[in-house]
Structure 1
Amino acid sequence: MNNKKAIVVFSGGQDSTTCLFWALKKFDEVEAVTFQYGQRHSEELDCAREICQKLQVPHHELDMSLLNQLAPNALTRKDMDITEGEDGLPSTFVPGRNLLFLSFAGVLAKQVNAAHLITGVCETDFSGYPDCRDVFVKSLNVTLNLSMNEDFVIHTPLMWLDKAGVWELSDQLDAFEFVKEHTLTCYNGVKGSGCGECPACKLRQRGLEQYEAQKAGVHTE
C-alpha cells in the first residue's frame, strides 16, 4: 500500500470539499470517490465532478442505488419531508450509508494502492447520526483492515469541529472562498449559500456567521 496516497469520500459539499483540500496538503496523490445512491438532486453529482475537474483530482463514481431501495429517506425521496423522527433521528438519516461508503471506498483504495481513506463525518454537528461517531469509524477501520489484510488508516479531519471550525479549517487551507462559492450543501440543490431554508443551509450559514464574527473579534452566543 502506498502510504502517500489517499482516497477522499466526496460529495461536493462543504465538509467533503474541505477534507479534499486537507488531503491535497497531506498526501502526494489524492483521488476522490462519489456515490450515486438516488440523491434528490443530480446537481450534487455534477458539483462533485466539477470540483474534481477544477482541482485536477481523479474522480470515481460508484453506483449505490440499492441503498435507496433498502432505506427510503428524505435525501432520496422528494415525496418525504425533512423531519425529526420519533427516535430523534431526522428523516435524512440513511441507515448504513457511511458503513457502505467507507467499505466500498476501502475496496477501491486497495485497487488503486492507497493506504489512506478520508471522510468528513463529524461528531459535533452530526444530527445524532450513529455512523458519524468516532467510535464507529475506529471500529470500521479495524474491520476493514481485518477483512482485506491491509493497514488502511481512516482520517476524520472534521470529527471534533463544529461548522464554524470547518470554515476556519478551510480558511487555513486557503480554500475558504472556493468552499463558499463552489460547494453544494443544500438539500434543495442550490449551490453556494443555498436556499437558506433547509436544515443543512441553516447549519452552514450559522457556522459561517460564527466564524466571520470570530475573525472580526465579535463575541457571539
Structure 2
Amino acid sequence: MKEEKAIVVFSGGQDSTTCLFWALERFSEVSVIIFDYGQRHQKEIECAESISKDLGVESRVLDMTLINQLSANALTRTDIAVDGGGEGQLPSTFVAGRNHLFLSFAAVAAREMGARHLITGVCETDFSGYPDCRDVFIKSLNVTLNLAMDENFVIHTPLMWLNKAETWALADNLGRLNYVRERTLTCYEGIQGDGCGECPSCQLRQNGLDTYLAQKEGAVQ
C-alpha cells in the first residue's frame, strides 16, 4: 500500500496522532483533515495544525460548527458539565453523528484528491459507550460511502480492538511514545500533554500509560 494516498481524520489527540504515525509508515502520501465543530478549546485545532506542520503533513480545517445547532453536548457547550454517563446513559461528551459526518466529509475530500484510504482513531475497546466508535458502524458506513460515491474506499481503524495500554504500546513500537505523550491534547480542559489528570479522558489516558509502562518494565526485568 506504500504507493497509495491516505487521509487521516485528525484531532491532535493521542489516538489520532498514533494513527497518523501508523499511516505514515504505510502510505506514500498522507494528509490530515481537521474539523472545527465548535469544540470548547480552540487549542485542540491549534495543536492538530502544529503537529501536522511539525511532521510535514498537509492539513486542512473544515468548518463543521453546524453540529452546534443540532446537538447539545459537553464538548461544545460550556454550560454542560462533563459527565461519564452510567446506567445506560451516554456520556455528556457524546456528539451525536460526529464520526458519521467527519468520515463522510473526509471521503468527499479523499475522492477529490484521489485517495482511497481513510484512517480514524475510533476504538470499541475503550470507547466510553459512543455508538459511532463501534466496528459495526464503521463497516456499515464504509459500504454506504462506497455505494454513495461509486468508489472503493477502505476505512482503517488501527485502534479498534486495542485498549489504552495497547495504544501506548503501538505508539512506542512506532518510536513515537514520547512525542505522543508530550505533543498531543486529549484533555477535556484543553491542557496539552498529560492534561488535567481529573477529567474522564485524562484518567483513561493516564491509566493506560501507567499500565503499559508497568508491563514494559516487568518485561525488561
Tell me the TM-score range normalised by the shorter chain.
Answer: over 0.9
1:52-92 Cα offsets, whole Å, 9 max, x none, are 00000000100000001100100000111011266421000
- Which 4+ stretches in 1 moved above 4 angstroms? none
Aligned amino acid, residue 50 of structure 2? E
Listed as ranges, the matches of 1:57-136 within 5 Å are: 57-83=57-83, 84=85, 87-136=88-137
Whole-Å separation in 1 of the counterparts to 2:157 and 2:216: 25
1:118-171 Cα offsets, whole Å, 9 max, x none, are 000000000111100000000000000000000000000000000000000000
Whole-Å separation in 2 of the counterparts to 1:140 and 1:89: 21
Aligned amino acid, residue 170 of structure 1? A
Aligned amino acid, residue 199 of structure 1? P
The DSSP-based 3-state class of the residue aligned with 2:23 is: helix
Contact 1:10 1:32 in 2 (8 A): yes
Listed as ranges, the matches of 1:195-206 within 5 Å are: 195-206=196-207
Whole-Å separation in 2 of the counterparts to 1:10 and 1:187: 16
Contact 2:3 2:29 in 1 (8 A): no
Aligned amino acid, residue 212 of structure 2? Y
Is 1:152 aligned to 2:153, yes or no?
A: yes
Contact 2:3 2:28 in 1 (8 A): no
Which structure 1 segments of 5+ residues have no match? none
Q: 20-29 vs 87-96, which deviates more?
A: 87-96
What corresponds to 1:161 in structure 2? 162
The DSSP-based 3-state class of the residue aligned with 2:89 is: coil
Is 1:53 aligned to 2:43, yes or no?
A: no
What corresponds to 1:28 in structure 2? 28
Whole-Å separation in 2 of the counterparts to 1:89 and 1:103: 23
Which structure 2 segments of 5+ residues have no match? none
Contact 1:3 1:114 in 2 (8 A): no
TM-score (norm 2): 0.96
The DSSP-based 3-state class of the residue aligned with 1:23 is: helix
The DSSP-based 3-state class of the residue aligned with 1:74 is: coil
The DSSP-based 3-state class of the residue aligned with 1:217 is: helix
Whole-Å separation in 2 of the counterparts to 1:109 and 1:207: 32
Whole-Å separation in 2 of the counterparts to 1:87 and 1:111: 40
Whole-Å separation in 1 of the counterparts to 2:209 and 2:125: 16
Whole-Å separation in 1 of the counterparts to 2:172 and 2:156: 19
The DSSP-based 3-state class of the residue aligned with 2:25 is: helix
What corresponds to 1:211 in structure 2? 212
Following TM superposition, by how much is the alpha carbon of 1:176 offset from its aligned partner in structure 2, in angstroms? Answer: 0.5
Aligned amino acid, residue 75 of structure 2? L
What corresponds to 1:37 in structure 2? 37
